[in-house]
Amino acid sequence: MSARLSFTEVLSQKIALLFDGATGTELYNRGLFINRCFEEANLSNPNLIRELHEDYVKAGAQVLSTNSWGANSFKLRTHNLHDKTYEINKKAASIAREAIGPDGYVAGSVGPLGVRIEPWGPTSFEEAKNSFKEQIKGLVDGGVDVISLETFGDISELQQAILASRELNPKMPVIAMITINPEGQMPVGTPAEWAIKKITEWGVDALGFNCSVGPQPIMSAVKKIQNTTRCPIVVQPNAGLPKQVDGRTIYMCTPEYMAEFTKHFLEAGVQFVGGCCGTSPQHIKSMAQAFRHQKAMRHSEGDLSPEFSSIEHTSSGDICAEGCERVPLEKKSKWAQKIANGQMVSSVELLPPSSVLPDKILERSKQLKDAGVDAINIPDGPRASARMSAILTSVMIEQKVGIETVLHYTCRDRNLLGMQSDMMGAHAIGLRNMLLVTGDPPKLGNYPDATGVFDIDAIGLTNMVHRLNGGLDLGGRPIGEPTALTIGVGVNPVHRDFDYEMKRFKYKVEAGAEWAITQPVFDLRALYKFIDHIEKENIKIPIIAGIWPLLSFRNAQFMNNEVPGVVIPDEIMKRMAEPQSPEDAKKVGVEIAHTMVEELGDSVQGIQVSAPFGRADLALKVLGK
């Protein structure tokens, strides 16, 4: 077993880690009175502190912050505990170390002194620095991996804390976090950008923001400072701004909201994410799920995994077993033949049954086949829901109805070996058309506590199927006859980070993708922008546009606000809000979708229409059939 990386190595290798959540508000919720010295509980009630740490570890935290934020001699003096400063801090570190175990990390939490220092108060820089040294020595002797300077509102005081840590132990990594208001300024009016520039000059190992505000203002601040510093960034927002409800202070951000921003922070390049006031183990649990999903999405910029790093993003003619020839696209399936010949294709998405009865989906598939649709799209656990196996649903449709399917296959529910087995089995049973996607994380569905696997993402899965099409398994062993699976991938033309999405899409094409289906598109301008981009970048791959007929204004609201990757323009939202009856709303939604299909013409090579609630008749109207 390889040795655990040091925190310095974590920093240099840019490994993202999840910190824990609040200590103070959680201890208060667990029975410590507000007038108690929370840090003294390290000595008088270590089991309570250990239990909180262990709850965060169970939730998925990889870094624990010690219960020592206010354990400096100035603050402890107000409780007549100043002579126990070293003891309290050393115990705080040892409790956290015991809770996290050998594989995790402990951050020694150091907060402001609680007194004004020069030039604003009577405490000198030297006195402040010596107080910080006393606290930090206890934490270092207790076994912390990094010093975490948190919630500083005075940059001069923060400088003394940095100097104290460096003078005491120059090799100990130091994180420095300031607190800001919703406008992005420190409490005394210092702009965050200027403060971050100075902190960078002082030579910390990571820097960022914590406390005071929720995720949105901190996200805005992160964007402002990214051109100011090259240091790794850490954020630990509150669970929103506190509100008084029936005499109680309540933090309003839900675990799901914090998880969504965790994804945004990681997409923005933040290396360390955690929570501050109001965040609980439940928040960290949801954030850990988002962390795991995002890690899979970005893993090695699309390589399969460290074990399979030799599999590169190559074109479809490479990586074949000796004596093996790949099956040409046009010979893989009827769907593939039309795509290879430059013909328009059409497909309709039908959800697998949520019961054991396939009668309705078979009936609807026959209706679509008779109308001349080329294939039935079968999603794989859409929105992380539990439905009949997408593979078996596809087999039944192809065998009993006689129309080809496009199987959506996700990385979420299987490990590498299971995915390889599924692909070989799909080929053996006669399935050919695969749309390879990463999949929605379980937190989005009805079973948020289910575990997502995410050994690889869609890029890695494309690599894997491409390899099987070359007659090789993951270990490089020839499998005899190669698979003949058509490789389709997803792409989102309206992704909030267009450049990032295009980078991933390029990797998918280089990994062996042969065609692509877009997320449901409601703004044709965005789709044309995407098409222009891939033409300029010489990314040559047939594009099939995803179209979704809206059924009501409420349906449009849900799609726009709750379905990842979907953006509906204001003009369409207004049109959907106008009809007075449900039937009129359906007509407007179908009319909007059909108009988009007509306008697209031959600018794409196919149309995939989603049939909401299984309404095959509406899908056919959209296609003009």
C-alpha distance from residue 521 to each of 146, 472, 491, 551, 592 (Å): 46, 36, 11, 15, 11
- Residue 609 CB burial class (10 angstroms; 0-12, 13-18, ≥19): buried
Please tell me whether 276 is known to bind a ligand: yes
Strand arrangement of the beta sheet that strand 233-236 belongs to: 17-18, 272-273, 233-236, 206-210, 174-178, 146-152, 105-110, 63-65
Structure tokens at 526: 């965005």
Q: Which of 191, 235, 185, 174 is nearest to 210 (CA)?
A: 235
CA-wise closest residue to 448 among 256, 586, 167, 172: 256
Provide the 3-class DSSP secondary structure of residue 451.
Answer: coil
248-251 and 242-245 beta bridge pairing? antiparallel
Cα separations in angstroms, 268 against 233, 340, 492, 497 = 10, 38, 18, 9
Structure tokens at 280: 């609980």
d(CA 429, CA 588): 41
What is the b/e burial string over 116-148, where b = at least 16 CB atoms within 10 angstroms of the residue's CB?
Answer: ebeeeeebeeebbbebbbbbbbbbbebebbbbb
Instruction: List the end-to-end C-alpha distance of the chain, in Å, as a whole number.
Output: 61
Q: What are phi and psi of 273, to 5 degrees?
A: -130, 140
- Tokens encoding 440: 């929605």
* Cα 391 from chain centre: 26
Q: Which residues are annotated as a binding site for Zn(2+)?
A: 211, 276-277
Binding-site residue set: 211, 276-277
